[in-house]
């Protein structure tokens, strides 16, 4: 019985270490995904703003000497 208890204890300890390692890996993956999502949201907002611009948008500043071509 003592040997069986020791074997079970060792198995549980290995399982605990495996769980802790997996938890650490999952936390790392979660932080990478959240960072990636933040980058994608920023890129989407920039793209959305840029697609709404036209040649007549007041936010576009033409350089001196630049030529506008009629559409």
pTM of the model: 0.58
Could you report the per-residue pLDDT of 2-61, keeping only the tens digit for each?
999 999 999 999 999 999 999 999 999 999 999 999 999 999 999 998 888 887 777 776
First-to-last alpha carbon distance for the chain, in angstroms, is 90
Domain count for the chain, please give it: 1
Is the pLDDT score of 69 beyond 70?
no
Burial 21-51 (b: 16+ CB within 10 A, else e): eeeeeeeeeeeeeeeeeeeeeeeeeeeeeee
Instruction: Compare 22 and 64 and report the one with higher pLDDT.
Output: 22
What is the domain extent for residue 2? 1-48
Q: What is the pLDDT of residue 2?
A: 94
Q: What is the pLDDT of residue 68?
A: 65
Q: What is the pLDDT of residue 70?
A: 66
* Residue 20 domain-assigned (yes or no): yes
* Residue 58 domain-assigned (yes or no): no
């Amino acid at each position: 019985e003592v040997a069986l208890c020791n074997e079970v204890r060792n198995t549980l300890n290995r399982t605990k270490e495996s769980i802790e390692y997996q938890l650490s890996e999952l936390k790392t993956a979660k932080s990478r995904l959240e960072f990636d999502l933040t980058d994608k949201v920023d890129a989407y907002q920039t793209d959305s703003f840029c697609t709404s611009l036209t040649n007549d948008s007041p936010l576009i500043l033409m350089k001196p000497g630049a030529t506008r071509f009629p559409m």
